[in-house]
Amino acid sequence: MGPKGFQAAGIACGIKATEGAKDLALIYSQAPATVAGLFTTNRVKAAPVLATRRKVRRGICQALIVNSGNANACTGEQGLQDAEAMAHLTAGALHLPPQHVLVSSTGVIGHPLPMERIEQGIPSLVARLSPLGFPDAAEAIMTTDTRPKIITEKVAVDGDEITILGMAKGAGMIRPQLATMLAFLLTDAQIEAKVLADLLHEGARSTFHRITIDGDTSTNDMLLLMANGEASKRALHAQDRRFRPFQEALFKVMDHLALAIVRDGEGRTKVVKICVRGGKNSRAAERLAFRVAHSPLVKTAFFGQDPNWGRIMAAMGAAGIAFDPRKVSIFFDDIMVVEHGVHAPGAGEAQQRRVLQQEEFTVTIDLHAGSAEASILTTDLSTDYVRINASYRT
């Protein structure tokens, strides 16, 4: 069950080549909901991103329709018209104003939407709306994902039981500032749109903006938070003592989804936390962590379980951040492999390999230059990743 007053559905309407694969999802709130959103920073923005970003600025919505299998990106004026048509068709079926219907898409770039199939699918989609329909919707937004990503969290606020549901898709082109990532957060708490926006920005900074798989940024990233107030007696405000438990529950949902995306990274065999500490400032620490996390040589070494710390040092040096290599220490979990910028005495290769043989481990880089730190979650780069992306359109 999702939050009070929300329903969802997911069906197959023939957008994807695989017969029977769900590819059209709908989320509906029986009452108007406040909404906030974050969108791709890619200069090439898909039509549904442009359409939905404009509507989210109004702070009110009541439905969201999502298709997978086609990004509706780089499709020109026709793409914008198709995104608006999806909203209008959905609004008509639900008897809503079109401006209250948001649109999202994910899939192959550069192909027009098969609008005839979508138009035929919308009545069936609306007919299947149910408080139990969220798993189907989570499946319908997937592309190269191997499994749906969905979580529900409940929190008691002033005698009210508030529910937060989150669903996401993403397995490749995952780079902070979002990346082929769609994430939809729903709650029956009563919260103003401005407060939602502040919550979303703060939560994303430590969750969705701190993950990367291949360093590419999508045209279609979208993170939405909707609140319909159906379980709240009165609105939550940031200065309210009741606000903190809700905030913690929301950030827990966001953190769970971000980790689930990394764990489902295309072709991944490892989940690696890159932690840079001892930096002069957090921005520099973050840039170094991302540079290491994006290095193909570092990531392929992780895949090969090769403790080649020299690749980490080289990646750091190419980050454009000032640091003293002679002060650097590097650890694989708790095993020091570099001390004062050179191979650490007593760091046996067999011990190092045992760490890298694990499915999840941490690489810690200490700059010994200050107290700032930053952590990034990433994956290895495997032969399966190449295979998946070499044949994505087929």
Alpha carbon separation from 68 to 22, 169, 182, 381 (Å, rounded) = 8, 10, 10, 25
Say how far apart CA 196 and CA 110 lie, in whole Å: 33
Q: CA–CA distance from 259 to each of 72, 191, 282, 377 (Å)?
A: 27, 26, 21, 8
10 half-sphere exposure, CB direction, 13 A CA radius? 20
CA distance 114 to 118: 7
Q: What value does the CA radius of gyration of the chain take, rounded to a whole number of Å?
A: 22
Of 40, 15, 28, nearest in space to 65 by CA: 28
Catalytic one of 90, 144, 180, 219: 180
Question: In the structure encoding, which two tokens stand for residue 9, read together?
Answer: 């559905």
**Rounded Cα–Cα distance for residues 95 and 319 (Å):** 53
Which two three-digit tokens encode residue 283?
Answer: 């921005």
Cβ contact 74:218 at 8 Å = no
Distance CA 257, CA 185 (A): 10
Backbone angles phi, psi at 76, to 5 degrees: 65, -155
Kindly compute the dihedral angle of the four CA atoms of residues 13, 222, 9, 171, in this order, to the nearest 10 degrees: 70
Instruction: Name the β-bridge partners of 366.
Output: 277, 329
Note whether 252 and 340 are within 8 A (CB).
no
Active-site annotation holds for 180: yes
Contact 211, 174 (CB under 8 A): yes
Could you list the active site residues? 180
